[in-house]
């Protein structure tokens, strides 16, 4: 593990925090991905754009496409603080102030040169794989991109599991779409013949990385938790939710990461934050909803400064829910791609989401549920107030509700969020002392 | 003969009644009757009807319902219809409803299906999915199976088997309802001064609460009565209104647009009445027939994927031509993802075709109509100037 001497006073830019080998590797992977993407035209590679929930990376790789994920690009723009300009640009172009800012960041970025984080222009996609999983906005987003790029769009419709079960009808419908629609069209655009054994190989690789990811996320059951499963978790899910699931690189990354976390567990250490190792773990929270990206570090800091660690989160299941046992299965390749899509968090019914969050509170011995409600995102947000009430009722643990946005800085009010969080932590404290008093009186 | 006013008065009473008295009375009239609520945008009412049950359209609370509880369930940036629907639920106004269907329209209604399961655990609640793949062998088979699942569920609730013949008989009634609906729309497009859009809206809205047999008679009566109308022709322009397919605009908004000088000659309110554009055949497997017409001959709307870029928004142009509209008004509920995300693409198509448009947002409880009147008035003036130029 590399260490750096911390300067006494924080100069600008902020101090580079301690970085584990896995973090450096991840940075390298992401940089390599963007280089591969931006040099696709000169390398003769074709590009397929798709979404994180329902990302069929293994299938995409079978046709030698480079995978471009507009949601991840919007996140990058948020972290780099350019998304605000892009969102406003899109609004000037006629997109409503009411709709998802990921879409507007993407469209605004296109209007302003469409530059990747490496400063080079993104190539136009050759195909849009509209994996319609868990979010209505996806359908319109890719219709909008199709209008701009004039390229082929392929719809893969994932039925919503409204009754909390995956039925044969749903699975068969998806497999049929893959066979009749998605694969033939990907073959036609790429000029590469589909090879199911190649798909199996990738799926086998995926399952290995998935095992390690689950171990990493579940390490948060330990006390203290060696990871922050929300803010830190976002780094952990990056490769597997993006263009790396099914690659050897991903398997190596998760193996390395798991090794590091195991060491932290053995040493009884808490999470690493952007400011170095976190101090004493005082509060354990389960989080629901995506984070804010334009003030990501400030947002996280509000937590770790108070000794609050996120031990489980729903957001880290948005590109695949693996902790209940699902793994990509080389023996049932198309069925398992279908099940993967059907299983993603935002495709789950509200009662399933309540169950999941309430169980997390129990299993991870958390103090309560914190919901970060995102203005952009009806898929996550509609119903969250009821989710909070239900989880509170079932667990007897208090919940808290903060409101921000993903990549629109206009909707991040640091003082509001901080006040909310502080009063919430005080509430937990009070609840603890009253429980202790009751315990003592008993 | 029933006059236009008498029919509209009846519809207004039905519209104003937030306790759904007529549906309650229908249910109470016979032992064992059941009512199934549904939200926008489309459900196959034929199957509900075939089970001997009353399909009941639930479209939020409008501008007369005081929302007290519903706001506690939703953040400020979510549209109004789910909160007023929750209000209807928690205040007991839907306590006679035996099941609720939440169609695949957007993530808000989708999530409301799960909220309903949690909040009203004793009532059947189903997210009603439709395919976004329109191939008979792919999306079609999926949909047929979904419809048969729904049929099985409804059969359990009604306590009777739903036979193919019963579905065929219901299809016939709804074919007639669709035809009469299209006739009323065509009549309005021909002689809009005789069929004010607020009237048309109320007559269509009555179809959300009345049994289809009764609604068919009402539509027939209305057509006869409207032909006799002696309302004067005004110097209004002709517009098509789009975007109001889910949360309903206040009736005043429709009236304001017409008062501002625009005859609405087509709209997308209450699409369930005319979602299927062709008669559903009564020969053969009735469920497959419902699926087939849905896949190949149903309305284009923001909640449905358009597989072909060249076709995007073309349905609006066809409607403009069919109904002789001179411009398009985009009226969408605030925070409505489907309407607002789709809008720029539809506007590009209109722009390419040289069709003028204007856009604004509303909420079901909007009270202030002045800005809308002004915008619609300016739009109407500019259309007139344009056509004179
Ligand atoms: S609405 Fe939500 S899930 Fe959909 S693209 Fe936006 S942030 Fe993602
Ligand atoms: S008004 Fe729009 S966003 Fe709201 S529930 Fe209806 S379709 Fe969904």
Mean pLDDT of B177-201: 98
Q: Compute the CA torsion angle A23, A29, A34, A39 (nearest 10 deg).
A: 150
The rounded percent of chain A whose pLDDT value lies above 90 is: 92
Contact (Cβ atoms closer than 8 angstroms) between residue B330 and residue B346: yes
The Cα-based distances of B122 to A160, A347, A390 in angstroms read: 22, 24, 17
Mean pLDDT of A59-70: 98
> Which pLDDT belongs to residue A441?
58
Averaged pLDDT of chain A: 94
Cα A99 to ligand 1 centre (Å): 9
Per-residue pLDDT tens for A284-300? 999 999 999 999 999 99
Instruction: Give backbone dihedrals phi and psi of A396, rounded to 5 degrees, phi first.
Output: 75, 10
Alpha carbon distance B315, B355 (integer Å): 13
The pick from B40, B105, B114, B343 for probing ligand 2's pocket by mutation, whose C-beta has the most ligand atoms within 8 angstroms, reads B105
Residue A221 has pLDDT above 60, yes or no: yes
Alpha carbon distance A186, A242 (integer Å): 19
Q: How many CB atoms lie within 10 A of CB B139?
A: 23
Contact (Cβ atoms closer than 8 angstroms) between residue A107 and residue A77: no
Which one of B133, B144, B350 makes the best mutation probe of the A interface by having the most chain A beta carbons within 10 Å? B133
Residues in chain A: 442
Residue A10 has pLDDT above 60, yes or no: no
Chain B residues whose CB is inside 8 A of the A177 CB are: 133, 138
Q: Do A98 and B334 touch (CB under 8 A)?
A: yes
Burial A339-373 (b: 16+ CB within 10 A, else e): bbbbbbbbbbbbbbbbbbbbbbbeebebbbbbbbb
Mean pLDDT of A172-180: 98
> Which pLDDT belongs to residue B206?
98
Per-residue pLDDT tens for A85-107? 999 999 999 999 999 999 999 99
> Which pLDDT belongs to residue B386?
75
- The Cα angle at residue B300 between residues B364 and A168, in degrees rounded to 5: 100
Mean pLDDT of B182-189: 98
> Which pLDDT belongs to residue A415?
96
> Which pLDDT belongs to residue B250?
97
Q: If DSSP states are collapsed to H, E and C, what string results for chain B?
A: CCCHHHHHHHHHHHHHCCCCHHHHHHHHCCCCCCEEEECCCCCCHHHHHHCCCEEEECCCCCCCCCCCCHHHHCCCCCCCHHHHHHHHHHCCCCCCCCEEEEECCCHHHHHHHHHHHHHCCCCEEEEECCCCCCCHHHHHHHHHHHHHHHHHHHHHHHCCCCCHHHHHHHHHHHHHHHHHHHHHHHHHHHCCCCCCHHHHHHHHHHCCCCCHHHHHHHHHHHHHHHHCCCCCCCCCEEEEEECCCCCCCCHHHHHHHHHCCEEEEECCCCHHHCCECCCCCCCCCHHHHHHHHHHHCECCCCCCCCCCHHHCCHHHHHHHHHHCCCEEEEEEECCCHHHHHHHHHHHHHHHHCCCCEEEEEECCCCCCCHHHHHHHHHHHHHHHHHHHC
What are the pocket residues of ligand 1 if the criterion is a CB atom closer than 6 Å to any ligand atom? A 100, 102, 135, 137, 346, 376-377, 379-380, 406
Q: Do B305 and A132 touch (CB under 8 A)?
A: yes
Mean pLDDT of A264-277: 96
Mean pLDDT of A249-262: 97
Residue A17 has pLDDT above 90, yes or no: no
> Is any atom of ligand 2 closer than 6 Å to the C-beta of B279?
no
Q: Which residue has the higher pLDDT, A14 or A305?
A: A305
Per-residue pLDDT tens for A340-373? 999 999 999 999 999 999 999 999 999 999 999 9
> Which pLDDT belongs to residue A440?
62
| H runs (alpha helix) in A193-311 | 196-218, 231-241, 248-266, 296-304
Contact (Cβ atoms closer than 8 angstroms) between residue A286 and residue A371: no
Mean pLDDT of B27-43: 98
Mean pLDDT of B157-166: 97
> Which pLDDT belongs to residue B387?
75
Mean pLDDT of A328-335: 98
Alpha carbon distance A350, B114 (integer Å): 5
Q: Do B114 and A96 touch (CB under 8 A)?
A: no
The rounded percent of chain B whose pLDDT value lies above 90 is: 98
Closest chain A CA to residue B81:
A382
Looking at this predicted complex, what is its ipTM? 0.97
> Is any atom of ligand 2 closer than 6 Å to the C-beta of B41?
no
> Which pLDDT belongs to residue A436?
73
Which of B177, B114, B118, B127 lies closest to B153 in space, CA to CA? Answer: B127
Per-residue pLDDT tens for A137-154? 999 999 999 999 999 999
> Which pLDDT belongs to residue A19?
72
Cα B367 to ligand 2 centre (Å): 19
> Is any atom of ligand 2 closer than 6 Å to the C-beta of B247?
yes
- Closest Cα of chain B to A322: distance in Å? 22
Residue A9 has pLDDT above 50, yes or no: no
**Would you place residue B362 in the very low, low, confident or very high pLDDT band (cuts 50, 70, 90)?**
very high
Per-residue pLDDT tens for A395-441? 999 999 999 999 999 999 999 999 999 999 999 999 888 877 766 65
Specify the pairing of strand B99-103 against strand A368-374: unpaired
Cα B246 to ligand 2 centre (Å): 6
Chain A residues whose CB is inside 8 A of the B118 CB are: 350-351, 354, 386, 390
Per-residue pLDDT tens for B45-86? 999 999 999 999 999 999 999 999 999 999 999 999 999 999
Residue B363 has pLDDT above 90, yes or no: yes
Chain A residues whose CB is inside 8 A of the B111 CB are: 350, 378-379, 382-383
Alpha carbon distance B124, B97 (integer Å): 9
Q: Which domains, and CATH codes, for chain B?
A: 17-164 (3.40.50.11890), 232-388 (3.40.50.11900)
* B322: CB partners within 8 A, 6+ apart: B189, B266
Q: Do B336 and A98 touch (CB under 8 A)?
A: yes
- Both tokens assigned to B144: 């047929």
Q: Which residue has the higher pLDDT, B161 or A13?
A: B161
Closest chain B CA to residue A405:
B77
> Which pLDDT belongs to residue A433?
84
Per-residue pLDDT tens for B77-124? 999 999 999 999 999 999 999 999 999 999 999 999 999 999 999 999
Q: Whose CA is nearest to atom 3 of ligand 1?
A: A135
> Which pLDDT belongs to residue A6?
37
Specify the pairing of strand A276-277 against strand A152-157: unpaired
> Which pLDDT belongs to residue B184?
98
Alpha carbon distance A360, A377 (integer Å): 23
Cβ-based burial of B382 (10 A; exposed 0-12, middle 13-18, buried ≥19) = middle
| Ligand 1 atom nearest residue A346's Cα | 3
CB nearest to B338's CB, from A132, A136, A169:
A136
Alpha carbon distance A95, A382 (integer Å): 21
> Which pLDDT belongs to residue A408?
96
* A255: CB partners within 8 A, 6+ apart: A212
Residue A5 has pLDDT above 60, yes or no: no
- Closest Cα of chain B to A280: distance in Å? 34
> Which pLDDT belongs to residue B339?
98
Alpha carbon distance B102, B118 (integer Å): 14
Mean pLDDT of B214-220: 98
Sheet strand arrangement including B124-128: B54-57, B35-38, B99-103, B124-128
Q: Do A180 and B135 touch (CB under 8 A)?
A: yes
> Is any atom of ligand 2 closer than 6 Å to the C-beta of B125?
no
A201-210, A427-436, B331-340: least confidently modelled range = A427-436
> Which pLDDT belongs to residue A4?
37
Mean pLDDT of A181-186: 98
CB nearest to B113's CB, from A98, A162, A169:
A162
Averaged pLDDT of chain B: 97
Phi-psi region for residue B187, left (φ > 0), alpha (ψ -120 to 50) or beta?
Answer: alpha
Alpha carbon distance B192, A403 (integer Å): 47
Per-residue pLDDT tens for A28-42? 999 999 999 999 999
The pick from B75, B79, B83 for probing ligand 2's pocket by mutation, whose C-beta has the most ligand atoms within 8 angstroms, reads B79
Alpha carbon distance A259, A241 (integer Å): 20
CB nearest to B347's CB, from A94, A146, A354:
A94
Per-residue pLDDT tens for A381-400? 999 999 999 999 999 999 99
Residues in chain B: 389
């Amino acid at each position: 593990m590399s260490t750096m001497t911390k300067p006494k006073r924080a100069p600008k830019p902020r101090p580079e925090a301690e970085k584990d080998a896995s973090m450096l590797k991840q940075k390298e992977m992401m940089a390599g991905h963007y280089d591969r993407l931006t040099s696709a035209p000169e390398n003769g590679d074709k590009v397929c754009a798709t979404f994180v929930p329902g990302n069929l990376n293994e299938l995409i790789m079978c046709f030698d496409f480079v995978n471009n994920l507009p949601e991840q690009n919007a996140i990058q723009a948020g972290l780099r603080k350019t998304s605000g300009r892009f969102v406003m640009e899109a609004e000037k172009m006629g997109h409503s102030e009411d709709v998802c800012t990921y879409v507007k960041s993407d469209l605004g970025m296109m209007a302003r040169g469409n530059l990747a984080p490496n400063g080079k222009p993104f190539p136009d996609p050759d195909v849009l794989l509209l994996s319609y999983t868990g979010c209505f906005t996806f359908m319109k987003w890719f219709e909008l991109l199709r209008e701009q790029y004039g390229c082929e769009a392929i719809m893969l419709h994932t039925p919503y599991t409204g009754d909390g079960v995956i039925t044969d009808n749903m699975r068969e419908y998806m497999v049929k779409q893959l066979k009749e629609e998605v694969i033939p069209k990907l073959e036609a655009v790429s000029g590469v013949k589909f090879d199911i054994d190649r798909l199996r190989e990738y799926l086998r690789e995926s399952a290995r990385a998935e095992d390690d990811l689950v171990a990493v996320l579940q390490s948060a059951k330990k006390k203290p938790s060696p990871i922050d499963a929300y803010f830190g978790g976002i780094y952990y899910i990056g490769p597997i939710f993006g263009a790396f699931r099914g690659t050897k690189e991903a398997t190596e990354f998760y193996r390395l990461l798991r090794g590091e976390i195991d060491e932290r567990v053995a040493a009884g250490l808490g999470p690493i934050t952007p400011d170095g190792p976190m101090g004493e773990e005082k509060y354990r929270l389960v989080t629901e909803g995506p984070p804010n990206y334009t003030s990501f570090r400030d947002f996280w800091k509000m937590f770790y400064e108070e000794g609050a660690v996120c031990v489980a989160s729903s957001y880290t299941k948005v590109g695949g829910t693996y902790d209940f046992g699902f793994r990509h299965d080389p023996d049932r390749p198309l069925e398992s791609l279908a099940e993967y899509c059907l299983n993603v968090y935002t495709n789950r019914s509200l009662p399933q989401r309540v169950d999941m969050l309430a169980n997390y509170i129990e299993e991870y011995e958390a103090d309560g549920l914190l919901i970060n409600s995102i203005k952009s995102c009806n898929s996550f947000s509609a119903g969250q107030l009821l989710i909070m009430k239900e989880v509170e009722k079932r667990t007897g643990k208090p919940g808290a509700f903060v409101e921000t946005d993903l990549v629109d800085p206009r909707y991040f009010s640091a003082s509001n969020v901080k006040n909310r969080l502080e009063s919430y932590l005080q509430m937990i404290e009070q609840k603890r002392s009253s429980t202790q008093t009751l315990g003592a009186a008993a | 003969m029933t006059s236009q006013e008498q029919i509209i008065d009846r519809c207004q009473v039905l519209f104003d009644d937030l306790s759904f008295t007529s549906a309650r009375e229908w249910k109470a009239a016979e032992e064992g009757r059941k009512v199934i609520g549904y939200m926008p945008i489309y459900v196959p009412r034929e199957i509900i009807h075939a089970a001997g049950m009353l399909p009941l359209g639930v479209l939020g609370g409008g501008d007369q319902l005081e929302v007290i509880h519903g706001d506690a369930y939703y953040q400020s940036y979510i549209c109004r219809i789910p909160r007023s629907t929750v209000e209807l639920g928690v205040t007991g106004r839907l306590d006679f409803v035996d099941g609720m269907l939440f169609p695949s329209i957007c993530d808000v209604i989708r999530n409301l299906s799960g909220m309903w399961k949690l909040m009203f655990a004793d009532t059947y609640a189903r997210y009603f999915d439709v395919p976004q793949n329109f191939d008979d062998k792919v999306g079609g088979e999926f949909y047929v199976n979904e419809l048969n699942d729904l049929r099985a569920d409804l059969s359990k609730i009604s306590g009777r088997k739903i036979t193919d013949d019963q579905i065929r008989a219901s299809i016939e009634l709804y074919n007639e309802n669709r035809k009469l609906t299209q006739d009323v729309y065509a009549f309005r497009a021909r002689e809009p001064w005789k069929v004010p859009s607020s009237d048309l809206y109320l007559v269509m809205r009555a179809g959300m609460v009345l049994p289809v047999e009764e609604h068919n008679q009402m539509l027939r009566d209305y057509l006869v009565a409207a032909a006799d109308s002696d309302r004067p022709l005004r110097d209004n322009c002709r517009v098509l209104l789009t975007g109001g397919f889910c949360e309903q605009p206040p009736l005043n908004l429709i009236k304001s647009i017409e008062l501002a000088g625009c005859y609405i000659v087509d709209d997308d309110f209450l699409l369930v009445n005319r979602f299927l554009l062709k008669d559903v055949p009564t020969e053969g497997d009735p469920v497959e027939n419902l699926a087939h017409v849905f896949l190949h001959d149903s309305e284009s709307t923001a909640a449905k994927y358009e597989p072909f870029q060249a076709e995007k928004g073309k349905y609006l142009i066809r409607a403009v031509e069919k109904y002789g509209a001179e411009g398009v008004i985009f009226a969408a509920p605030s925070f409505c993802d489907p309407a607002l995300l789709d809008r720029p693409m539809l506007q590009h198509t209109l722009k390419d075709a040289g069709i003028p448009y204007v856009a604004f947002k509303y909420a079901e409880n909007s009270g202030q109509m002045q800005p809308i009147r002004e915008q619609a008035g300016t739009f109407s003036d500019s259309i007139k100037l344009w056509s004179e130029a």
